[in-house]
A and B are shown apart, each in its own frame.
Chain A
């Protein structure tokens, strides 16, 4: 084991939400902690630190990944999108965020950022999910409050909002 007293710090540069960000951290810094504590992006939550709950899910090159199962140093070459990158303005919600609000798909809100990132990426690939498909799509994230029913509803609703907004801008 390396002595922490002499632990080497690295300058780690990530592209987060389209912005290049650099901070100094040891190699063992988990991406989840790097985002939260080194970059101050606390929207990504940590629920289990062993990859099961999905609260820390971010998009890594557009694909959902557990930020607690990636070292920040490994993520250097990649584009990271956090919930803040999907929508950071309470007055201007993304389709998935708006659907969650409409469908009461969150209660305590702690798991929510992981769902928002996961579903946002899912809808890019599957723009018209059925409720059954929606349920399967969220089955890798734990929520202790909602019983998932309204999250399923929100996935379907979000796909409608995407289309509604596309039509508005057409």
Chain B
């Protein structure tokens, strides 16, 4: 019996290639292609008066210079609103190249195509754009005040306003013995994958077809968007996703203007064209996320149990809303975490500002929601003088209450209904891991040494694996090689390994014989994309279903050949044998030969399937009416709703009594994503998520000035943490299988990021003894807060 692959920490199949310089990322393709560069708006809000491109044309090596006026057909129309919603009453999207107005610094105005990127940038430098500047709207306070508008026809700068209420909040609040109100703030950060975006288009003039490579999180999405914009038959557009150097959300937007313009230019010029986003472009023309102002009012009893929760928040959606209001909807719903809120009302306003647009970034609104809820939990504990875990514990949804329906609509338009989870068990594990009950003694010891330490906690629930569907295609070749395809794309999650593990188990073949392709529309034309922690759940189950189709067919053919019942057969390491009689067997690859009746034999193995081999019944058609040639199959997984993963984190921080520098001494994670296909990969996802969370809590923010200039559009000043800033993460797992899908999986990709801001705020607050209401927090800001609270305790004065 072969080793079961699912559950094993097997080494990744993709690594040897990536480790030896044999990866193929977008810019590694198309050597010799023309290169594009863009003139981007230097102003946050302006009308375009004139564009003078004459000097650019004079440069040797410049092949094309395009402005909006050159964009023909649908390419010149506004970009699509991808996810409309009834509450999104004033959706606005930009153009591929700005038409008459720019709404953020970095918006593309002119496209240059040249011999190489150096010359393209030279040409950009020679283009004169005359602007009439308008006063910009920067920051949520200004957007809310609405003294100026981003879009003249979007009153109040409001893109969307949505209210959901479960129960009667006003009555429950009025009756609550205790109430608190918290005003909270969380600032912008961004995905910042190490590889920026990129697009490479090959136009085949003879075939009037397009092959497009994009560093994207959705190849099928890009394909459909580009075919629509370029008014091409879908069958003439193929999109291939090469190796992708990280996504974290920003590469799910489709189409990005460049994804339309590059193939459009390639078709127009009849030449290969490539655009590789540089880091500065990524800062000012890709997407950001996180910025919200929140106001939480909570009513609770004397034991800390929630009676009513009333949340209002203002979400900065930047200049445009192509991705709709997914992020604030997630904040509004996932804010509840593992708790029963009593009566719940949440209302948000999604507001325009003259800044880079906002689309999901790992966590996608959940970090903000978790922050609001967990700050509230800590405030309740402080108000009542209770242990913070005790308050949380009293509000937990209990395991026997699962499935638990919150009565709200989730981001997939379906009920917010938790399928499973054991929150008390998770909390018990976390307290154990971090040593919650011993911390008071540790704090006292530290204080005696003149040190300030604090302990923080945060809990979250994450809806993962949203639909609508993903597909899997599994094919067994006559040499035993198993080709697996799924349509969603890979940005480092190890799909080539994880999906192979699943297929190896389902089909009964060796892992090394399974080869997985992702994100290639030539191999799988129906797919949605990689986001919402859905890769393993959706494609994992899809390839499992497809493998079962192939297995069933193989067993049926083998049963005929061996003259036994399919039920008596098993497949192990690619060999089909009779259970209990391993001598009676047939290779899976032989079944592959037999499944495809041939006229011609190109190798010895295939001879068995040719017409004179005697293998076929002359009275039946070679392929039965209800059958298809080939040992392959396809199936799709489409769930009724999301499956809900959960986790709890705790951190110990130390704050310097004088300089207010903040150091994370310990970081502990309890993580429950159901069945783990590859625990090593899950662990890696958690580590990476926590690191991004730490960045968002202590280091990263987008700093705009009043004029809408991004002041820190470089890795010098936007502080992505190095190894020196990221703590060692201690993890423990709970596996509460999802009852919703055959494999029992829940998503794991975003989890690590979600609670970190809440946890660090909690820990710093615990160390300092005054409330933390704005994140991220820098040493200088903490130092300033100390001055405001005059909080250096007498006991620590001596140390300073």
- A contact set with B: CB distance below 8 Å: 3-5, 26, 28-29, 36-37, 40-50, 52-53, 55, 82-84, 87-91, 93, 97, 100-102, 104, 106-113, 116, 135-136, 138-152
Contact = CB atoms under 8 A, between A and B. Distances in A.
25 contacts: A4-B61, A5-B61, A28-B118, A29-B118, A36-B27, A37-B31, A37-B116, A41-B21, A42-B27, A52-B714, A52-B715, A87-B20, A90-B17, A93-B16, A100-B19, A106-B19, A107-B246, A107-B684, A108-B246, A109-B19, A110-B195, A112-B19, A116-B19, A145-B684, A146-B688
B15 interface: yes
B665 to A, nearest CB: 14
Interface centre among A97, A110, A142, A146 (most CB of B within 10 A): A110
Contact of A110 (B25, B680, B690): B25
B61 A90 contact: no
B20 A97 contact: yes
A12 B228 CA distance: 45
B729 interface: yes
Given A4-B118, A52-B715, A108-B245, A143 B194 contact: yes
Contacts, number: 195
Contacts of A4: 59-61, 118-119, 122
A110 B22 contact: no
A142 B492 contact: no
Nearest to A83: B21
B728 interface: yes
A110 B245 contact: yes
Contact of B246 (A110, A138, A140): A110
Contacts of A140: 722
B678 to A, nearest CB: 9
Interface in B449-475: none
Interface string B166-203: 00000000000000000000000001111100000000
Contacts of B16: 90-91, 93, 97, 101
A117 to B, nearest CB: 10
Nearest to A46: B27
Q: Which 4 A-B pairs have the closest CB atoms?
A: A43-B21, A110-B245, A108-B492, A109-B18
Contact of B715 (A3, A48, A110): A48
B316 interface: no
Contacts of A138: 722-723
A41 B22 CA distance: 9
Interface of B: 9, 11-12, 14-25, 27-28, 31, 58-61, 116, 118-119, 122, 191-195, 243-246, 248, 278-279, 491-494, 680-681, 683-684, 687-692, 714-716, 720, 722-724, 726, 728-729, 752
Nearest to A97: B19
A50 B282 CA distance: 14
Nearest to A54: B722
A142 B722 contact: yes
Interface centre among A90, A138, A145, A147 (most CB of B within 10 A): A147
Contacts of A46: 27
Given A139-B724, A144-B194, A108 B244 contact: yes
A47 B19 contact: no
Given A93-B19, A135-B723, A145 B715 contact: no
Given A88-B20, A110-B193, 14 more contacts: A4-B59, A4-B61, A41-B21, A42-B27, A46-B27, A90-B16, A93-B19, A104-B11, A104-B680, A106-B492, A109-B23, A139-B723, A144-B194, A144-B246
A3 B122 CA distance: 9
Contacts of A45: 25, 194-195, 245
Given A47-B279, A144-B692, A149-B729, A110 B19 contact: no
Nearest to B15: A101
A4 B126 CA distance: 12
Contacts of B722: 138-142, 148
A53 B122 contact: no
Interface centre among A83, A84, A88 (most CB of B within 10 A): A83
A100 B684 CA distance: 12
Interface centre among A28, A100, A101 (most CB of B within 10 A): A101
A145 B19 contact: no
Contacts of B690: 147
Given A5-B59, A135-B724, A140-B722, A36 B28 contact: yes
A4 B245 CA distance: 32
A43 B21 CA distance: 4
Nearest to A2: B122
B119 to A, nearest CB: 6
Contact of A87 (B19, B60, B193, B726): B19
Contacts of B193: 108, 110, 144
A148 B691 contact: yes
